[in-house]
Amino acid sequence: MANVISDETIDYVGILAKLELSDEEKEQAKKDLEEMLDYIDKLGELDTENVEPMSHVFPVENVFREDVVTNGDDRDNILKNAPEEKDGMFVVPSTF
Amino acid sequence: MDLLHYTATELGEKIKAKEVSVKEATEAVLDRIGETEEQYHCYVTLDKEGALKKAEEVQKGIDDGTLTSPLAGVPVAIKDNMCTEGMLTTCSSKILGNFVPTYTSEAVKKLEAAGAVILGKTNMDEFAMGSTTETSAFGPTKNPWNTEHVPGGSSGGSAAAVAAEECYYALGSDTGGSIRQPASYCGVVGMKPTYGTVSRYGLIAYGSSLDQIGPLGKDVRDIATVLEAIAGHDSKDSTSIERKDTDFTSALIDDVKGMKIGIPRDYFAKGIDADVKDRVLAASKVLEEKGAILEEFDLPLVEYAIPTYYTIADAEASSNLERFDGVKYGFRAEDCEELHQMYKRSRSQGFGPEVKRRIMLGSFVLSSGYYDAYYLKALKVKALIKKGFDEAFSKYDMILGPCAPTTAPRLGESLSDPMKMYLGDIYTISVNLAGLPGISLPCGTDANGLPVGLQLIGNIFEEKKLIKAAYAYEQARGAFSIDSVKEAH
């Protein structure tokens, strides 16, 4: 079964992935995605009707602790990595 | 003997016995880096000043008896996806090209507590996505055995640095083979422990349910020693496991009598180089002569591991990498008028093609309408793969096979055909899906003089069996390094 990725689908994936693709990149992405999905379709050969999906190999449980702060205030150091900052806050372009 | 030829534990002993100072060892390795780094490009960041300063501090600690670890004073290289406070941590990506963490990852902290001297951060495939170190935004690392070939990946810089004696040992991370495969290509030893054994705190995530940190070194003793130093429960990593049996060096025993070793027929079937097959089977005979019991068997679902892995790993990656948006750290695209445009442009300009490819596939398989057909299906197949291993380990102490179907490919041959590159992960990938420990160690060279890696796979928590068998094989094999192999020819 050959997968066909439409223009709409690749635009939608771009929105989900928060990526802006040029027309050339879009064509390449369609081709790559089709090829990978054709390959992944191989999993369809297996009967998994009564199989429980396994997200973790070990049983994982929620780990609880008291809500106590153990790390100090490192605001100034953290802000040093910010592309832009002002008065102890991150600056971003207009949000609307 | 040249100071650089010592293993990490040998150097540690010499330092302890005051035959070598920490400064001498650090200077020797920095000199070596000065000579060969231009050729190999193992490092993204070098911290000469910091290393020399640390060497002095550590020497004091050793002299006054506060530092007693076998690794005290031994220079180490760290893969550039582990956060190091005050030291650039880029994941070999433009999007983190200027990122200086405010904290240190737990595994590195444990090494620091043992008195390690950190030389710098090693090159890798961008965000650990790749099998050759060619997807690095800062250019590829070259294989020190032959610079026309890749070192493997994604921990290619770490493996090459060990092989080139540009460090005494290194840390890597392994999501689908990223420690074991470059170790195989570069003729060094690499181990991925059971999932949850080493804290992932401060490791920049790729596929969180698969990622594990582990050591790369010159011999099995070094691997056991480093793993013992970095293993341990950490409340800052919610999938960290409490285990009491992390005294890995206690398994350095030359004895495989009665050990049952399963050899999967499918691992030697199609697509494997004749030389690789030959060397790996010859290594199995060495273990047999030492008293191990070999048996061929059929491991199910081998051909389903790669599609399962890429679905799960890419899905997790698409979520994990959402944090890189140009707001809090890293690269931000210029001249953006509004927030969403800034997110999109920063990510599009900051990520390389392989990372974008995986984020898009991951976003697709998680999207509504496709989630059940792809992501959930892969999680079900993962359960079947795990079951297959459970059955194998009810019969065998470990599984033996190659680490990769070929030796190191030539530079520039892999990225043009991603599917082909992905197929090279066939023997390593299922180990991550099932959370198992695996070790790769050199077992000879092919006709072109490139190293071949032997892989041993154990059941969960059974690293010690692997260390024991690997150590026994190594004792029979003898020394293996670029120099020792060239001398023998």
**A84 to chain B: which residues are within 8 Å by CB?**
332
Taking 50 as the pLDDT cut, the residues of chain B under it are: none
Q: Which of B93, B131, B158, B178 is catalytic?
A: B178
Q: Which of B79, B192, B382, B468 is catalytic?
A: B79
CB pairs under 8 A between A and B: 158
Taking an 8 Å cut-off on Cβ atoms, the answer to whether A44 and B382 are in contact is no
Sign of CA dihedral B296, B297, B298, B300: negative
**B360 to chain A: which residues are within 8 Å by CB?**
13-14, 17, 19, 29, 32-33
Taking an 8 Å cut-off on Cβ atoms, the answer to whether B379 and A54 are in contact is yes
Range of the domain at B82: 3-253+467-488
Query: Is residue B350 assigned to a domain?
Result: no
Using alpha carbons, select from B302, B463, B442 the residue that is nearest to residue B398: B463
**A1 to chain B: which residues are within 8 Å by CB?**
none
Taking an 8 Å cut-off on Cβ atoms, the answer to whether B386 and A54 are in contact is yes
CA-based nearest distance A14→chain B, Å:
7
Query: Is residue B413 assigned to a domain?
Result: no
Apex B155 CA angle, B109 and B201, nearest 5? 30
Taking an 8 Å cut-off on Cβ atoms, the answer to whether A19 and B386 are in contact is no
Taking an 8 Å cut-off on Cβ atoms, the answer to whether B380 and A51 are in contact is yes
Nearest to A81 among B238, B328, B337 (CB): B328
Taking an 8 Å cut-off on Cβ atoms, the answer to whether A40 and B376 are in contact is no
pLDDT at site B1: 59
CA closest to B337 among chain A residues: A93
Query: Is residue B15 assigned to a domain?
Result: yes
Query: Is residue B358 assigned to a domain?
Result: no
**Per-residue tens of pLDDT for chain A, all 96 residues:** 588 999 999 999 999 999 999 999 999 999 999 999 999 999 999 999 999 999 888 887 788 889 998 888 899 999 999 999 999 999 999 987
* Known catalytic membership, residue B154: yes
CA-based nearest distance B278→chain A, Å:
30
**B338 to chain A: which residues are within 8 Å by CB?**
93-96
* Known catalytic membership, residue B94: no
pLDDT at site B62: 98
Residue-wise pLDDT for B176-224, tens only, equals: 999 999 999 999 999 999 999 999 999 999 999 999 999 999 999 999 9
CA-based nearest distance A17→chain B, Å:
6
Tokens 């599917």 locate to: B419
Question: Strand B117-122 relative to strand B43-46: parallel, antiparallel, unpaired?
Answer: antiparallel
Do B414 and B125 contact (CB within 8 A), yes or no?
no
Query: Is residue B339 assigned to a domain?
Result: no
Taking an 8 Å cut-off on Cβ atoms, the answer to whether B304 and A46 are in contact is yes
Tokens read off for B228 = 């013992």
Tokens 């069996």 locate to: B465
Domain A7-42 has CATH 1.10.20: yes
Query: Is residue B22 assigned to a domain?
Result: yes
Taking an 8 Å cut-off on Cβ atoms, the answer to whether A55 and B209 are in contact is yes
**A96 to chain B: which residues are within 8 Å by CB?**
338
pLDDT at site B486: 82
ipTM: 0.95
Q: Return d(Cα B399, Cα B142) in angstroms, integer.
A: 31
- Give the CATH number for residue B124: 3.90.1300.10
Q: Which residues contact B416 (CB under 8 A, 6 or more apart)?
A: none
CA-based nearest distance B26→chain A, Å:
30
Domains identified in chain B, total number: 1
What is the pTM assigned to this prediction?
Answer: 0.97
pLDDT at site A96: 75
Q: Return d(Cα B293, Cα B322) in angstroms, integer.
A: 49
* Known catalytic membership, residue B178: yes
**B345 to chain A: which residues are within 8 Å by CB?**
20
